[in-house]
Homo-oligomer: A and B are copies of this chain.
Amino acid sequence: MTARTDFGSHYLVDLSQCDPDKIARVDGVRAIFLRAAEQSKARIVGELFHQFEPAGVSGVLLIEESHFSVHTWPEDSFVGVDIFTCGEEMDAPIAIDALKRAFSARVVEVKVLVRGQLGEDPWMPTPRKR
């Protein structure tokens, strides 16, 4: 029997030169994020958001297909998103495009990795720092 080697696609998404006012508070970021996830046909099973002071948001959606996460740095106009999907129906690029527009990001960079095929050398723990 051959071991399964495809556990879905993991999108890392850096959104730069965003509108700082749109990424400062949980209320706004949560609404945008939920809408983007729904547009991509993700099936949400749970959500968790955290407000940093004076400004900045972390949040995650657990979905049937794995997860969405968001972290915002309003002082740098930067948003880091990841979308891990192991479903066939879900369309992550739709969510990425929706987030780009909603955060008014001028630059978006994306890397996609197939989970189960990271292909690095086997892990050796690094020495402890202390």
Contact = CB atoms under 8 A, between A and B. Distances in A.
B78 A60 contact: no
Interface residues of A, number: 54
A21 interface: no
B78 A69 contact: no
A118 interface: yes
A115 B111 CA distance: 10
How many copies altogether? 2
A82 B80 contact: no
A60 B69 contact: yes
A93 B125 CA distance: 6
29 contacts: A7-B78, A7-B80, A10-B12, A12-B113, A14-B117, A16-B116, A45-B50, A45-B58, A47-B48, A48-B48, A48-B60, A48-B62, A59-B62, A60-B62, A69-B84, A78-B116, A82-B82, A94-B125, A94-B128, A96-B123, A97-B123, A107-B122, A108-B122, A108-B123, A109-B120, A109-B121, A109-B122, A109-B123, A111-B118
